[in-house]
Amino acid sequence: MTPTQLLIFASAGLFAGILAGFLGIGGGTVLVPLLVTLGYDYQQAVATSTLSIVITAISGTVQNWRLGNIDFKRIIAIGFPAIITAPIGAYLTELFADYWLKAAFGLLLLINIYLVRLRKRLKAREKQDSLETVTPRQIPHSKSQAALARISTGSTAGLLAGVFGVGGGVILVPLQILLLGESIKTAIQTSLGVIVITAISACVGHAVQGNVLWIEGLLLGTGGLLGVQISTRFLPKLPDQVVSLAFSALLAILAIYFFWQAWQSYS
């Protein structure tokens, strides 16, 4: 590996780590396109991304724990279903053509933008209809509803981690806001913890298939480890509207990129 390649991988990991801490995503939405652009097969890009995400997510979660921003019960409740679905997602990558997977991911990103905006509208409506202040935990009206919402969220995130090489944060954050009524900051912090579980499960599934590029993944993960330490320190100081806008903007840009990549693969 040349010095230029080393610099590219370290810089990409650093950038992905910063996004992971700020937006609660594992960084795969950045790393997978990068690896594909560098000429790696889609399956290798997805698999290597999961290895990097394991390192980045663990680093960010430890940092959030030190700052007192982690609820491990919430993380386990959402993350446990992902252990089952992540390997299934890893297996599914072998069944579909690249352009279908890329187009599906682009569509998923656009759906997530809608989910975030929908939750904000619902919350505003609830405040108008009630004289009392609406708290995030009023959304699940029973324990069974809350449990079902967490299982659905975790299962979906695990499946996406395996199929798309992401930690699952692109779906974890919007679904926590929409189904569980969490604030965006709480959703991001919880998401990063759950990503540790989804990424490890997905990485194991891909390693069994021999798709993980270990050196590249470790380089990306090391850069991400540094980046996430920076961003997790600043997240609590940012207004919710700024974080929400940044999250939606990133998803929109990446959606356009993935649609373009899908068209290129199809052509």
Please choose, from the candidates 235, 222, 246, the residue with its C-alpha nearest in 3D space to the C-alpha of residue 14: 222
Rounded to an integer, what distance in angstroms lies between the CA atom of residue 193 and that of residue 96? 29
**156-186: per-residue pLDDT in tens?**
878 877 887 666 666 777 778 777 877 777 8
Give CA separation, 226 vs 110, 184, 193, 249, in Å: 29, 23, 17, 23
Residue 214 has pLDDT above 90, yes or no: yes
Q: Kindly state the tokens that stand for 229.
A: 């330490």
| pLDDT band for position 37 (cuts 50, 70, 90) | confident
Domain boundaries, the chain: 3-266
Which residue type is seen at 61?
Answer: T
| Helices (H) then strands (E): counts for the chain | 10, 0
Rounded to an integer, what distance in angstroms lies between the CA atom of residue 173 and that of residue 110? 14
**58-87: per-residue pLDDT in tens?**
888 888 888 887 888 888 888 888 888 888
R_g (Cα) of the chain, nearest Å: 18
pTM: 0.67
Q: Kindly state the tokens that stand for 2.
A: 């040349």
**High-pLDDT (> 70) share of the chain, %:** 82
Answer whether 197's CB lies under 8 Å from 238's CB.
no
